[in-house]
Amino acid sequence: MENQPQQRTKVWFITGASKGFGLSLVRQLLQQGHHVAATSRNLKELRRAVNNDSTEFLPLSVDLTTESSVSEAIQTTIGRFGRIDVVVNNAGDGQLGSLEELSDEEARANFEVNVFGSLNVIRHVMPHLRRQQSGHILNISSIAGFLGTFPGFGIYCATKFAMQGFSESLSVEAKAFGINVTVVSPGYFRTEFLTPGSLSVPQQPVAAYEEVRQSQAAHQNQINGNQPGDPDKLAATLIQLTNEPNPPLHLFLGQDAYDLAHQKIGAVQHDLEGWKTMSVSTGFAS
Ligand SMILES: NC(=O)c1ccc[n+]([C@@H]2O[C@H](COP(=O)([O-])OP(=O)(O)OC[C@H]3O[C@@H](n4cnc5c(N)ncnc54)[C@H](OP(=O)(O)O)[C@@H]3O)[C@@H](O)[C@H]2O)c1
């Protein structure tokens, strides 16, 4: 123990903290003496779940899809703790259904939370991080934001691919201000994500999509409750990550995510090289 450097106390801002990854993070951080601002749609449920009355914990009622609500939460956090060191865009829900089945409204609702909710946080936290010339933003995407071949998860994948895209851009924009960005891609972890409170099913299912219904049933009945990933280990890993001097832009979590990422990279490499002649044939003749 003597040789281990003492990690300094940090201020964390975490979205979607009443259950799952968010709750695991809040509990471990408070136990380690960090300051934690955590958001939820349901303040009462968040307070009940965390069960901590200390001044280190700031529970916040936030609607992530309303910019003024997000802005107010960040101002309140700065008012209480004076700074923000780590931001976790964790809140997210899933919309199951084939692209044909899902209405414009259903598709957009998933983007509102996963994409535009996260962008609201980034837009309002960046001025503070720039002023500090430091900070670490962790955007919780998914392996489904790197590999899209899951029947019935096209819209969810699209939201999580969007997070990968803006995280990569943000990493280069924020670098000049000493701010790190990591886009996190977990595989299957045992949280409440596959339960009706987080995963919606199509309002107008189309019977012909048998593979989508099979995928839906498998996720709801077999995979839910049997996911290999431990959310407490994921939370501990993210905390450890923020102590790294050079954190990665991409972090895959879980053996399944690691294997599927390899599969995707191999498939892209295969197409890239197999179709190279066509790819490079489109420039002006010099
Ligand atoms: N578990 C997995 O296997 C897995 C894998 C890859 C990625 N992820 C991602 O990890 C993140 C956390 O999920 P989890 O696994 O911890 O699931 P969870 O147990 O269902 O928790 C989801 C959290 O997101 C918030 N949330 C859900 N729907 C929301 C909505 N419509 N508006 C605002 N907030 C909402 C909830 O916050 P409040 O109820 O407190 O407001 C909740 O605390 C999500 O972004 C998810 O996409 C999960």
The CA 251 to ligand 1 mean position distance, Å, reads 18
Q: Is 19 among the residues known to form the active site? A: no
pLDDT value, residue 286: 78
Predicted pLDDT at 163: 99
258 in catalytic set: no
pLDDT(4) > 90: no
Question: What's phi and psi for 238, nearest 5 deg?
Answer: -65, -40
Ligand 1 contact via 200 beta carbon (within 6 Å) = no
Please tell me if the CB atom of residue 140 comes closer than 6 angstroms to any atom of ligand 1. yes
Mean pLDDT of 191-204: 96
* Centroid of ligand 1 to alpha carbon of 234 (angstroms): 14
Residue 219 in contact with ligand 1 by CB distance below 6 A: no
Ligand 1, from 65, 93, 157: best to mutate by most atoms within 8 Å of Cβ?
A: 93
218 DSSP 8-state letter: I
Burial of 211 per CB tally in 10 Å (0-12, 13-18, 19+): exposed
Is residue 200 among the annotated active site residues?
Answer: no
Give 29-73 pLDDT, tens digit per residue: 999 999 999 999 999 999 999 999 999 999 999 999 999 999 999
Structure tokens at 279: 């790819």
How many CA atoms within 13 Å lie on the side-chain side of 130? 11
Residue 145 CB–ligand 1 contact under 6 Å: no
Instruction: Give yes or no for residue 186 CB within 6 A of ligand 1.
Output: yes
Q: How many CA atoms are closer than 13 Å to the CA of 18, on its beta-carbon side?
A: 16
Whether ligand 1 lies within 6 angstroms of the CB of 93 is answered as yes
Nearest-CA residue for ligand 1 atom 8 is 142
Reply yes or no on whether the pLDDT at 178 is more than 90. Answer: yes
Please give the pLDDT value at position 6: 54
User: Which DSSP category does 5 fall into?
Assistant: P
Distance CA(150)–CA(164), nearest Å, equals 17
Please say whether the beta carbons of 132 and 77 come within 8 A: no
Nearest ligand 1 atom to alpha carbon 19: 43
Q: Which atom of ligand 1 is nearest to the CA of 63?
A: 33
Asked if 89 and 42 count as a contact pair (C-beta separation under 8 A), the reply is: no
Full strand arrangement of the beta sheet holding 11-14: 57-61, 35-40, 11-14, 86-89, 135-140, 179-186, 250-253
Mean pLDDT computed over 142-158: 97
Burial category of 168 from C-beta neighbours within 10 Å (exposed 0-12, middle 13-18, buried 19 and up): middle
Least confident of 5-9, 47-51, 134-138: 5-9
The pLDDT tens digits of the residues spanning 213-272 come to: 999 999 999 999 999 999 999 999 999 999 999 999 999 999 999 999 999 999 999 999
pLDDT score at 8: 86
Secondary-structure breakdown of the chain: helix, strand, coil percentages, each rounded to the nearest 5: 50, 15, 35
How would you classify residue 173: left for phi > 0, otherwise alpha for psi between -120 and 50, otherwise beta?
Answer: alpha
In this predicted structure, the answer to whether residue 86 has a pLDDT above a threshold of 50 is: yes
Task: Supply angle C-alpha 233, 239, 243, rounded to 5.
Answer: 135
Q: Give percent above pLDDT 90 in the chain.
A: 97
The ligand 1 atom at the shortest distance from the C-alpha of residue 229 is: 3
Point out the catalytic residue in the list 98, 141, 171, 215.
141
Index of the ligand 1 atom closest to the CA of residue 160: 47
Query: How many angstroms separate the CA atoms of 58 and 76, rounded?
Result: 9
Cα distances (Å, whole numbers) of residue 205 to 106, 157, 208, 214, 219: 12, 19, 9, 13, 16
- The pair of three-digit structure tokens given for residue 31, joined into one six-digit string: 């136990």
pTM exceeds 0.75, yes or no = yes
